Amino acid sequence: MKQLRFLVTGMVLVLSLGIVISPPVLAASPIKVGLLVPLSGAYAREGEFIRNGVILAFAQAGKIDGREVQVIVEDTEMKPEVGTTKARKLVERDKVNFTAGCYSSAVGLAVRDYADRYQVPHIYVAGSTAIEFITTKKSDWTRHGVYGGPSHGFGLPEFVVKDLGLKTVISMAPDYAWGWSEAKFIKAGVENAGGQVVQSMLTPFPTLDYSPYLAKLADAKVIYAEYAGADAPRLIKQYRNLGIKMPLLGSAPLMPGMLEDAGLSAVGLYTAMVWYPVLKNPENLKFMEGYRKKFGTEPGLNAATAYSATLACIYTLQKIGGKVENKRAFLDAWYTIKDLKTPLGNYSFEKSTHSPIQPVYIAKVIEEQGKPTYQIVKETPDARASAMLKMMGLFKE
């Protein structure tokens, strides 16, 4: 009681002397982002690209409404149970405001279930393109900062059948959630364009030797394959070494970051994707220069998509004045994105599929100065996941 009386007396004395004591200025607490990426396993390099793209975008943005951004990175090891454990650790121990990342659809679906159950926002910034994410497993607690489902290949099946005139198709994909979605998309797209899938192969993940599968190819005009990670260049090289005359194409196998491993074996093949390093828009030039300067290497597709998705994330955070604790406001702000400038091109957001409206580019792999590179041959400026789902008979308003 004596101590309390002394403190009160001291305060009165200060006030009587006309001295004003201002309360200490407290620094705004940081916005904490938990980033889940595969840093080991078959997709480790893609995980590095994702991590670098996210870090670069936040570093260039600086503080958001006076708040620093802290990114805490965890390795999912390409295992759904590990992804869930790491998400729980980030949310419950590290107290992140939201999680981001994933790449494997299997890991992404597991993290989706955690986010949905515990009402924690999760932003997919690369990969995780199984159709379930935007249909039966669509969650109001997740947003796809980059293509929804297989829409990264928007228009490629039609291009194959109508532009190239290759009407009988063999589809190949890995035997897990992502591959199943790709196989369904290829079949629907080819048939919608007037072609036919005469053989559909699902191969184990990963597959070291594709020769047993390539030896059983049906009679067709083209192989439409979707693989990522180390499987992609492995398939292309083995396909070339076997001397198969039937052309091979696809979105993921020839994406930037993997094309270099395929080398000149990929020359002459066609692909479709949301980004290529040859794009000349100002945002891409800035991204490429910043990435090289910060990391001393060339970016791959998943660096560019993660960077662009993070730009969208920064936009939404700025839209709500940095008040990320208001989870609903943060998630709803995604629906306000309209014509955001990114390395991918103009970027808007579609509420019905929780995913972007953005360009998809069809390119041919060509040789330039002894190396493979891309030549853009066609662009769909406003590809929508909803249009893809309508084609597949899966869209629901």
Residue 147: pLDDT band by 50, 70, 90 thresholds? confident
Angle between helices 177-192 and 105-118 (to 10 degrees): 110
pTM of the entire predicted model: 0.89
Residue 248 CB-density burial (10 A; 0-12 exposed, 13-18 middle, 19+ buried): buried
Say whether pLDDT at 396 is over 80.
no
At 359-378, the pLDDT tens digits run 999 999 999 999 999 999 99
Instruction: Please give the CATH number for the structural domain made up of 152-277+360-391.
Output: 3.40.50.2300
How many Cα atoms within 13 Å fall on the side-chain side of residue 209? Answer: 3
Q: Do domains 31-150+279-358 and 152-277+360-391 have the same CATH topology?
A: yes
Q: What is the pLDDT of residues 246-304, one digit of tens each?
A: 999 999 999 998 898 889 999 999 999 999 999 999 999 999 999 999 999 999 999 99
Mean of the pLDDT values across residues 85-109? Answer: 97
* Domain 31-150+279-358 grouped into CATH 3.40.50.2300: yes
pLDDT digits (tens, 9 = 90+) for 163-177: 999 999 999 999 988
Measured between alpha carbons, how far is 261 from 259 in angstroms, rounded to an integer? 5
What percentage of the chain exceeds 90 in pLDDT?
85
In the chain, where are the structural domains located?
A: 31-150+279-358, 152-277+360-391
